[in-house]
Structure 1
Amino acid sequence: MSDNPYQSLTVDLSGQTAIVTGASQGIGKAVAQALGASGAKVACLARNAEKLAQTVAEITGAGGQAEAHSCDVTDGDSVAKTVETLAENWGRLDILINNAGVTRDTLLPIMSDEQWDDVINTNLRGMFLFSRAAAKIMMRARYGRIINMSSVSGLIGNAGQTNYSASKAGMIGFTRSLSKELAKRKVTVNAVAPGFIESEMTKTLGDALISEAKKRIPANRLGLPEDIAAAVLFLSSPAASYVTGQVLTVDGGMTG
């Protein structure tokens, strides 16, 4: 078997540019690697500089093009400046992956204002700020792909995650609305809703909860970040030009 997990999905993104938020680990890292392996020049954004540098090193080491950038995804001025600078330096912006996200899980009666605000600001406000900045550039170019990383929690809810589920459901409503605004400018807007994926987040659940989760998944396994990256890769491609306003659920059949 090849070491390249994207070999079975061939997408040519040569000459295109992409921004991936939350690219230092897990799904974001896999997405950035998939885009880089397909020829796109990738701006990788995250708060953890050390892990982000590793993502960039792995992409460039495999022959791709990538840059590390620091940006507070909740700061409107910082986001606007970052997106504008990248588009100016590159001469274009083709793909935006809104993946940055956090969890602050607890039951609602004991959830603090800070736990609510942290999740909503990072997951929902961050997506809004980057999409707003990128949409202006893509509309002028009459081409673009915006992909928002939602979750099955935004579709079916999850106890202890009212903040997270609300943010992910909000991303779906945002996606469907924005897709209607941008379709005539040949800019597609879609969401991917991962199920239980092997990541830093799921590791904190513990073996017992992970075992229980697998029982709810017809595929009888957790997903891999590469499973999500493949879905994102398709939606990022020119082949997906007639797919917009959709939510692609990648959960091993759990919500099917």
Structure 2
Amino acid sequence: MTMLTTLSVRAAGRVIPLPPDRTLSFGRDRSCDICLDPADPGISRVAGSVECDAGTWWIVNRSTRRTLHIVDDARRAVPLPVNAEGWPQGRYAVGLRVVTVLVAGELWTHELVLEPERAETASETEQPTPPPTSPPTPPPVPAVPAVARVPVLTEAHRAALAALASGYLRPHPHYDPRPLRYEHAAALLGVRAGRVRQRVERVRVRLVAAGVSGLDAVDARRSLCEWCLAMGLIGPHDLKLLPNLRRVPRRRGEA
């Protein structure tokens, strides 16, 4: 059998081996184990950490404002939510596969590559029965579960959100974790920008009323897209709702 012992983290030109008793932090603060860019305000001071809990390696989002992004085996990137009221759990189990973490700042999108290392052990029949271990401790659960806040979306609402978040729905390395402007999203749908804004605003207002934090800013496009993605309200399959996806040039909006 095999047993996970250490994890190698590659980022910013460095390779850091992590034994199970060590936690690695990353962000823009110079006190982090991996300082990504101290001059980029789009990266949280402490964006996240990599840690081992009960024999499992986890990526944990430590920010209350910025979402991390995990690239899965199909090269799709999915948001790892912020640590805030009304958002789903913000940690991800690494397992025994290579995982890429994207940290999107205002100036650059940084990558951390996590590579588990396996150690050969004797067969289970030759090993004493290990003591029982408690399961990983999840983060505190909000009073109202995040899933209870999920609204029912019409296809028009889903299409408007998918257009706004179309960059998020593309496979890595074409993944673009920034929302489009309303006029660019409207071009993908072939409708007026005001109509897209109206549909998106209806969803945002309902979520704010349900107690989801971070969606009451003057411009909440980024947070709204990432909450909807984290909750599975929209996904890559919704790109089919955008009739002009292939005809309109990609134009990235400002987050």
- TM-score, length-normalised on structure 1? 0.26
- TM-score, length-normalised on structure 2? 0.26
Query: Which of the two has greater helix per residue?
Result: 1
Q: Larger radius of gyration, structure 1 or 2?
A: 2
Query: Which of the two has greater strand per residue?
Result: 2
